[in-house]
């Protein structure tokens, strides 16, 4: 890989050619500086390495690690939720959150047909939670609306039905923003029918910081519309680990059990 001037980035070209000359991947610009395949191609910084080398190393299982506890409390505060749980991947964050909502089968999860939980999580919803998915194609070609959801959500006590227990939305999705006003309508309707709301917010940071009219709102404005949110630290942020999952009404033991 090269810079715009054609120079190798941090020895990346040497590594590709089999030359294993020692270089520090922590120096900037790192190997991912000019890698535009995905925003997942990020490189941690030297300040992150310093933070890692000075972190606490106590036991998170018994809630004794100050660094983990502080991070979870900070994420909960940012999202306006009551608690957060550190997990190691986006898939884990989504699956842990969804598992805590899916407690009494049969149940189905309604989502966009392009979303991560359908296409990139190895069938986790069916394997881990035994849930049926209801993938929808947005009628506007952009994002799911309340009308889409009302037309397809299963609200029934018929013994043959698989009621919709969770509406899972992703924001952004394939680079598109689901507007705050639209999410408010969906959330209000869902809660009036006892349906949980989950947000795959791997890139919700970018939505909250955007100046686009559709994205007008703070991080907590978006997150407060959902019962659970997964947030990623590696997408464009360069963090070496992935995300935390926060909950508006947490069942801490259930989430921790699902993480195990």
Summarize pLDDT for 212-254 with one digit per residue, the tens. Answer: 787 789 999 999 999 999 999 888 777 766 667 787 665 556 6
**pLDDT computed for residue 251 by the predictor:** 57
* Residues whose CB falls within 8 Å of the CB of residue 100, separated by 6 or more in sequence, listed in order: 228, 247, 251, 254, 255, 258
Query: Stretch 174-194: mean pLDDT, rounded?
Result: 96
* Domains assigned to the chain: 57-259 (3.40.640.10)
193: pLDDT confidence band, cut at 50, 70 and 90?
very high
pTM attached to this predicted model: 0.87
pLDDT exceeds 90 at position 258: no
Percent of the chain, pLDDT > 70?
83
∠45-48-52 over CA atoms, to 5°?
A: 145
Q: Give the least confident one: 12-26, 42-56, 152-166.
A: 12-26
Element holding 83 (H helix, E strand): strand 83-87
pLDDT exceeds 50 at position 2: no
CB 230 within 8 A of CB 97: yes
Summarize pLDDT for 153-169 with one digit per residue, the tens. Answer: 999 999 999 999 999 99
Compute the residue count for the chain: 260
Task: Report the alpha-carbon distance of residue 102 to residue 69 in Å, rounded.
Answer: 26
The CA radius of gyration of the chain, in Å to the nearest whole number, is 20
Task: Report the alpha-carbon distance of residue 163 to residue 9 in Å, rounded.
Answer: 52
Nearest to 255 by CA among 55, 72, 130: 72
Summarize pLDDT for 72-121 with one digit per residue, the tens. Answer: 999 999 999 989 999 988 899 999 999 999 999 999 999 999 999 999 99
pLDDT exceeds 70 at position 7: no
Q: For CA atoms 44, 45, 46, 50, give the dihedral sign.
A: negative
Query: Stretch 51-55: mean pLDDT, rounded?
Result: 88
pLDDT exceeds 80 at position 21: no
Query: Stretch 194-204: mean pLDDT, rounded?
Result: 95
- The single-letter DSSP state of residue 214 is G
Phi-psi region of 10 (alpha: psi -120 to 50; beta: other; left: phi over 0): left
**pLDDT computed for residue 1 by the predictor:** 46
Q: DSSP 3-state assignment of 112?
A: strand
Instruction: Check residues 4 and 53 and name the one with the higher pLDDT.
Output: 53
Summarize pLDDT for 137-151 with one digit per residue, the tens. Answer: 999 999 999 999 999
CB 244 within 8 A of CB 86: yes
Summarize pLDDT for 167-177 with one digit per residue, the tens. Answer: 999 999 998 99
**pLDDT computed for residue 225 by the predictor:** 96
Task: Report the alpha-carbon distance of residue 151 to residue 146 in Å, rounded.
Answer: 9
**pLDDT computed for residue 16 by the predictor:** 52
Q: For CA atoms 94, 99, 102, 107, give the dihedral sign.
A: positive
Report the mean per-residue pLDDT for the chain. 86
Q: Give the least confident one: 60-64, 111-115, 188-192, 240-244.
A: 240-244
């Amino acid at each position: 890989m090269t810079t715009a001037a054609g120079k190798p980035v941090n020895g990346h070209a040497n590594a590709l050619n089999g030359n294993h000359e020692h270089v520090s991947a922590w120096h900037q610009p790192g190997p991912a500086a000019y890698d535009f395949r995905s925003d997942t191609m990020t490189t941690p910084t030297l300040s992150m390495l310093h933070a890692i080398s000075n972190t606490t190393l106590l036991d998170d299982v018994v809630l004794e690690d100050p660094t983990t506890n502080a991070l979870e409390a900070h994420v909960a505060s940012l999202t306006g939720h009551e608690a957060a749980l550190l997990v190691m991947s986006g898939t884990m964050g989504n699956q842990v959150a969804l598992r805590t909502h899916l407690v009494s089968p049969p149940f189905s999860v309604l989502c966009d047909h392009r979303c991560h939980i359908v296409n990139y999580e190895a069938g986790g919803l069916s394997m881990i939670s035994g849930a049926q998915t209801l993938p929808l194609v947005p009628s506007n070609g952009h994002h799911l609306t309340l009308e889409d959801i009302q037309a397809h959500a299963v609200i029934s006590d018929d013994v043959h039905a698989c009621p919709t227990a969770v509406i899972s939305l992703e924001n952004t999705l394939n680079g598109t923003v689901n507007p705050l006003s639209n999410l408010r309508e969906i959330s209000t309707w869902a809660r009036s029918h006892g349906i949980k709301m989950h947000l795959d917010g791997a890139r919700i940071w970018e939505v909250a910081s955007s100046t686009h009219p559709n994205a007008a709102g703070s991080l907590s404005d978006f997150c407060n519309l959902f019962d659970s949110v997964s947030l990623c630290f590696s997408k464009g942020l360069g963090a070496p680990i992935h995300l935390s999952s926060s909950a508006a009404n947490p069942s801490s033991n259930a989430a921790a059990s699902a993480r195990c």
